[in-house]
Amino acid sequence: MYFYLSSEHGGEMAFKKRLFNRVESDLGFTVKIRAIKGYVEYREGHRAATVPVHLTMGKFFVNVYSDTPVEWKPPHTSEAVSEAKRMEILRNIVAALHFRKYPAELIETKSRRER
């Protein structure tokens, strides 16, 4: 059974809890939450990516930074992740964390060119 969560960009996403630390979306992606260890695993079809997340010191709050790189694991490392796809993945991760009741936020950061 899927549970619906409103998206910050309009529309709804449906999620299903899988095991104790996995979330499956009706959009075809799965997120394995390892926030305490500093990452989540994002899966889409046969592709997977390990994406760093950051816990806030002193409290249990997960920050996902908008400039976080996303690269597919082998054997899909040659497939580039576009900027639009990277942001979609980061937003999906935050939505999955919210579904599992993790306080999480996508933090906008300056682009590397602006630094």
Residue closest to 89 by CA, chosen among 20, 27, 11, 4: 27
pLDDT digits (tens, 9 = 90+) for 67-103: 999 999 999 999 999 999 999 999 999 999 999 988 9
- Cβ-count burial 30-56 (b if 16+ within 10 Å, e if not): bbbbebeeebbbbbbeeeebebebeee
pTM of the entire predicted model: 0.85
CB 31 within 8 A of CB 19: no
Euclidean distance between CA atoms 81 and 49, whole angstroms: 10
pLDDT digits (tens, 9 = 90+) for 12-23: 778 888 888 899
Q: Where are the beta strands (DSSP E) in the chain?
A: 3-6, 12-18, 22-25, 29-34, 39-44, 47-52, 54-55, 62-65, 104-107
